[in-house]
């Protein structure tokens, strides 16, 4: 579980509650069934209308990735590629067959199996890059789903406020109900903005960051696979791959 994400969500909620309390408003006003129907129901409806059933089915897995604190292990991938390059240099590419079958990373395994099978370098690169592009497209679509929902919910908040004001203006004769109804109308605006700018859009941005990390790992693996096929030395491969990862991670690797 990514505790930093949870802290961000909780902090956003606390800020809204604190602002209401400082203004002397009742926090109980946030618990509003009509607002929930307009904001949450409307956002779900707009998302369903904008994306396919396959996209919606991927949401549970996407939430798992979103709240996960797991990050690509660049150092382990580099160590494994360097280890395999040493085997290839000493014993030849065919000697990689047994250790490649034991690899846990399916992408690295696929690339090195093509190398062992004697595929052309250009074909290997093309096949692996197509897979990365397809993955990146799926990730972009899911992050776009959250950002689209984030852009929709504030507008629905305005619509909810308008509906609330219509209800209030229809009850002008009852002055006791007028104040609470107007206040309740603007709760929809607050909830719409909260859902959009403090939840959905940050979710989309976080998914983009996680996607960039995974794409970086896979591109790094592609370069390692191609260098192994070309017969480059393990030292050159190691230095080249470490140069592709963020400086902080390179420093950590150097210290180790």
Which tens digits make up the pLDDT trace of 113-127? 999 998 999 999 999
Q: What's the pLDDT score for residue 218?
A: 95
Mean pLDDT (whole number) for 185-189: 84
Domains in the chain: boundaries: 1-31, 33-57+72-256
Q: What's the pLDDT score for residue 253?
A: 43
- What length does the chain have? 256
Q: What is the pTM of this model?
A: 0.83
3-state secondary structure of 244: coil
Q: What's the pLDDT score for residue 19?
A: 84
Q: How far apart are the C-alpha atoms of 156 and 47, rounded to whole Å?
A: 13
Q: What's the pLDDT score for residue 133?
A: 95
Q: What's the pLDDT score for residue 250?
A: 64
% of the chain exceeding 90 in pLDDT? 57
Q: How far apart are the C-alpha atoms of 256 and 253, rounded to whole Å?
A: 5
């Amino acid at each position: 579980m990514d505790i930093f994400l949870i802290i961000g969500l909780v902090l956003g909620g606390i800020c809204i509650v604190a602002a209401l309390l400082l203004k002397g408003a009742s926090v109980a006003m946030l618990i509003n069934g009509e607002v929930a129907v307009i904001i949450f129901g409307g956002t779900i409806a707009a998302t369903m209308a904008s994306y396919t059933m396959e996209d919606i089915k991927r949401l549970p897995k996407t939430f798992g990735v979103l709240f996960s604190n797991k990050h690509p292990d660049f150092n382990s991938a580099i160590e494994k590629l360097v280890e395999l390059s040493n085997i290839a240099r000493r014993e030849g590419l065919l000697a990689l067959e047994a250790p490649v079958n034991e690899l846990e990373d399916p992408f690295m395994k696929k690339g090195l199996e093509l190398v062992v099978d004697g595929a052309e370098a250009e074909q290997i690169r093309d096949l692996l890059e197509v897979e990365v592009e397809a993955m990146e497209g799926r990730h972009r679509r899911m992050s776009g789903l959250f950002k689209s929902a984030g852009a929709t919910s504030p507008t629905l908040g305005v619509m909810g406020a308008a509906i609330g004001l219509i209800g209030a203006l229809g009850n002008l004769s009852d002055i006791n109900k007028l104040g609470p109804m107007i206040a309740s109308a603007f709760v929809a605006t607050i909830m719409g903005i909260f859902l959009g700018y403090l939840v959905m859009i940050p979710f989309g941005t976080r998914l983009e960051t996680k996607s960039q990390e995974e794409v970086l790992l896979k591109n790094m693996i592609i370069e390692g696979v191609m260098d192994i096929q070309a017969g480059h030395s393990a030292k050159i491969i190691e230095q080249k791959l470490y140069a592709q990862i963020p400086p902080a991670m390179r420093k950590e690797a150097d210290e180790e």
